[in-house]
Amino acid sequence: MRKQFVRTVEEVLSNDKKSVLLLGDIGVFGFRNSLLKYPDRVYNIGILEQSTISLAAGLAMHDFVPIVHTIAPFIVERALEQIKDDFGYQKLGGNFVSVGSSYDYAALGCTHHCPGDVGILKNVPEIEIVVPGHPEEFDRLFKQSYDNGRPTYFRLSENSNGESLKVKFGKANIVKRGKKATIIAVGPMLENVLRACRDLDVTILYYTTLNPFDSDTLKNNASSGTVIVCEPYYSGALDYDITEALAGRNTKIFHIGIKREFIRQFGKKEEIDELLGLTSENMENRIKKLIKS
Amino acid sequence: MIRKIIEMSHVAGEGHIPSALSVLDILWVLYDKVLDITPANIHKTERDHFILSKGHASLALYVILAEKGFIGSSALKDFAKKKSILGGHPDRTKVAAVEASTGSLGHGFPMAVGQAMAMKIRALPHRVFVIIGDGECNEGTVWESVKLAAHHQLSNLRCIVDNNHSSDRALKLGELGMKFESFGWHVILVDGHDQEKIRKALCTKNNGRPIAIIAETIKGKGVKKMENNPEWHHKSPTAEEFADIMNQLK
């Protein structure tokens, strides 16, 4: 997905003279050509994330479209107030593209983990949140929304689904219809959900835009009364949206995601998946168990 | 204008009067003599730009915006009321002449750096002015901004430090001018209540570097009981205090 990010932004930089890329000393090699080609619109700003976000807001005041890129915790957690005040409160448009989703940098420890990003940003009104599950989906979603005048967070993941879907910004995809439960699969969780549910009579809804949340698609496809949310970050970030969408209905909500605990082990992402019960086999067993219960 | 500031705070029961009074002379010179910003060009980007990074001094900004015709003087009466366009901190979504919604310190300066970069990208000749406080200088983003502006040679940027020494009770800042200079800024020290000297400092020509104007000011300047008195930092005068201050200002 990172390579696609470079390709997509290179294209945007070429076509849109209002676009400005600000790197937090991350992705500098990937964007080496752009740094040379557009010295006035592509900057390796350095490791000062808070000021980078404010600086981006200053650019946005002059009708530029800033694209800020660094590792997730340094955007979302370190510079949260800048995102809230300088973009959200001020109604300015800009893009924040993170790498290192959840524990993609498993071996680097908790300082470089960020499973809280979606839940944290859900508490900033008017911030759009996009979690693509495939490089092509990033390309589509970014091009559909990057210059819409609103602040948008794009969460790049190291792992991707095998195939891309024709995703549309702000809309969920109905992947499969069934009777026993509605599974909400977010971004790169779809691959495992599809495998786990291949023989199950369930509805699968695929969400890549989490804010604004597509309430209608859920409302119209949740008649079973059971919703299982499979999300690649701390569980529960969508609960407010789900309960609002299904208000007045007798619905059970279950979560398959990341527990709110520090991951105090190192290793590879796949090893942490196993530790947290997020392998496809584990997910299949858990989904089947939940449907039976 | 001092009387108006006191009155607004008294009526609203809100506002940081001493911070507004320390910066009032600087703001007046900016809007009266220096900035190429008028009610007619306020919606254009091709003009000078100004950010009050120490947004809690908003009372001073508001009386000047009213004086210069950016907002109606009737708006001042509603300061900090429920449907007012003028809050305790300035809000850019409500007043066109407010460039940035500030309040949390350390945001306006890096936004001004972004504005200066935008002007540089577009090769526009206009300048960006930002006022920060010495207390605000404790924020790390201030020094990040100092470094960024010097590195990118933003000679169109002017940072005025309202050095009213409110930081002294917490962290002593030492020689602010030397600090800016060591990062590569051109530094001018000025009496922040001498309007002619302020004007000269603000009109210093570009010399390839961003310019820092360290203005020595008195917090609460003009109202004896407030001058350098921390008790008044975020306090509005009672009816009795209001009458007393107005008598003093006659």
ipTM of the complex, rounded to two decimals: 0.95
Intra-chain end-to-end CA distance of chain A, in Å: 37
CB contact under 8 A, A59 and B147: no
A269 inside domain: yes
Query: Does residue B207 surpass a pLDDT of 90?
Result: no
Confidence of residue B134 (pLDDT cuts 50, 70, 90): very high
Q: What is the pLDDT of residues A182-227, one digit of tens each?
A: 999 999 999 999 999 999 999 999 999 999 999 999 999 999 999 9
Restricting to A residues 10-49, those with a Cβ less than 8 Å away from any Cβ of B are: 20, 40-41, 45-46, 48
Average pLDDT over residues B53-68: 98
A90 CB within 8 Å of a chain B CB: yes
How close B31 gets to chain A, by Cα (Å)?
20
Does residue A208 share a domain with residue A120?
no
Whether B187 contacts B180, CB under 8 Å: yes
Q: Which domain holds residue A256?
A: 173-292
Whether residue B148 lies within 8 A of chain A, CB to CB, comes out as: yes
* Average pLDDT of the residues in A77-105: 97
- Domain residue limits, chain B: 2-249
Q: CB contact, 8 Å: B179 with chain A?
A: no
Question: Is B113's CB within 8 Å of A56's CB?
Answer: no
pLDDT, tens digit, 9 for 90 and up, residues A34-69: 999 999 999 999 999 999 999 999 999 999 999 999
In a domain, A259, yes or no: yes
Shared-domain flag, residues A144 and A253: no
Identify whether residues A179 and A148 lie together within a single domain.
no
A164 within domain boundaries: no
**Residues forming beta bridges with residue B90, ordered by sequence position:** none
Picking from B93, B113, B140, the nearest residue to A58 by CB comes out as B113
Give chain A positions within 8 Å (CB) of B183. none
> Is the domain of A134 the same as that of A201?
no
Q: Is the pLDDT of residue A31 over 80?
A: yes
Q: What is the CATH number of the domain that holds A12?
A: 3.40.50.970
Both A104 and A191 in one domain: the answer is: no
**A232 within some domain:** yes
CA dist list (Å): B208 to A33, A44, B20, B160: 28, 21, 31, 17
Specify whether the CB–CB gap between A27 and A6 falls below 8 A: yes
Decide if A99 is inside a domain. yes
Over range A274-292, report the average pLDDT: 90
Q: Is residue A167 part of a domain?
A: no
Is residue A136 domain-shared with residue A35, that is, in the same domain? yes
Give, in order, the Cα–Cα distances in Å from B49 to each of A60, B7, B62, B93, B149. 14, 29, 16, 16, 16
Q: What is the pLDDT of residues A242-282, one digit of tens each?
A: 999 999 999 999 999 999 999 999 999 999 999 999 998 89
- Average pLDDT (A159-166) is 96
Looking up residue A217, the CATH number of its domain turns out to be 3.40.50.920
Confidence of residue A91 (pLDDT cuts 50, 70, 90): very high
Q: What are the tens digits of pLDDT across the range A92-148? A: 999 999 999 999 999 999 999 999 999 999 999 999 999 999 999 999 999 999 999
To 10 degrees, what angle do helices B17-29 and B195-202 make? Answer: 60
Statement to judge: residues A39 and A65 lie in one domain: yes
* Mean pLDDT of the residues in chain B: 96
- A202, A181 in Cβ contact below 8 A? yes
Q: Note whether A148 and A204 are same-domain residues.
A: no
Hey, are the CB atoms on B147 and A48 less than 8 Å from each other?
Answer: yes
Q: Is the pLDDT of residue A21 over 80?
A: yes
> B2-249: which CATH number, 3.40.50.970, 3.40.710.10, 1.10.10.350, 2.60.120.10?
3.40.50.970
Q: Do A55 and B93 touch (CB under 8 A)?
A: no
- Measure Cα distances from B29 to A263, B19, B161, B165, B207 in Å: 56, 17, 15, 21, 22
Could you tell me the pLDDT band of residue B169, with boundaries at 50, 70 and 90? confident
Probe site for chain B from A61, A65, A80, A82 (most B CB atoms < 10 A): A61
pLDDT at B180: 98
| Mean pLDDT, rounded, for A16-22 | 98
Q: Are residues A46 and A97 in the same domain?
A: yes
**Chain B residues lying within 8 Å of A50, measured CB to CB:** 106, 110, 140-141, 144
Domain count, chain A: 2
Read off the pLDDT band of B97 (50, 70, 90): very high
A213 and A98 co-located in one domain: no
* A11 pLDDT more than 80: yes
Residue B224, exposed/middle/buried by CB under 10 A (0-12, 13-18, 19+)?
Answer: exposed
Q: Is B41 on the interface with A (CB under 8 A)?
A: no
pLDDT at A119: 98
pLDDT band at residue A86 under the 50/70/90 scheme: very high
Q: Copy the structure tokens of residue A121.
A: 């940003």
Q: In terms of domains, do A190 and A85 share one?
A: no
| Other Cβ atoms within 10 Å of B13 Cβ, number | 11
Residues A179 and A123 in one domain: no
Other residues' Cβ atoms within 10 Å of the Cβ of residue B150: 18
CA of B174 vs chain A CAs: smallest distance (Å): 23
Query: Quick check: A55 and B99 CB within 8 A?
Result: no
Mean pLDDT computed over B79-99 = 97
Q: Which residues of B touch A42 (CB under 8 A)?
A: none
- Is residue A206 in a domain? yes
Mean pLDDT estimate for chain A: 96
